[in-house]
């Protein structure tokens, strides 16, 4: 594996894992009042575009990171809509 791919996968892992503490906290407390829904929607659109870009370029770090990031962000949006 090339160093560029390793750097990309590491960056993808870091940015993807960043949402986990918020998801866990929201799940446990059942409170999401401080989370901005417009921010989450814009982030979701951005992740979709990055994913499409990664697919077009056939770049594993972009595809993997943004796929997982999109799933986690959608999970947080569901929690926000459910617990408001």
**What pTM was estimated for this model as a whole?**
0.85
pLDDT over threshold 90, residue 20: yes
Q: What mean pLDDT value characterizes the chain?
A: 93
| Sequential DSSP letters for 31-75 | --TTS-HHHHHHHHHHHHHHHHHHHHHT-HHHHHHHHHHHHHHHH
Domains with residue ranges and CATH for the chain = 3-83 (1.20.1280.290)
Give pLDDT, residue 1.
78
């Amino acid at each position: 594996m090339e160093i560029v791919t390793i750097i990309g996968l590491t960056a993808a892992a870091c940015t993807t894992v960043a949402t986990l503490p918020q998801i866990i906290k929201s799940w446990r407390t059942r409170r999401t009042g401080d989370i901005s829904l417009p921010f989450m929607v814009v982030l979701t659109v951005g992740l979709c575009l990055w994913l499409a870009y990664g697919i077009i370029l056939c770049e594993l770090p972009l595809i993997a990171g943004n796929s997982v990031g999109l799933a986690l962000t959608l999970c947080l949006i569901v929690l926000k809509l459910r617990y408001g």
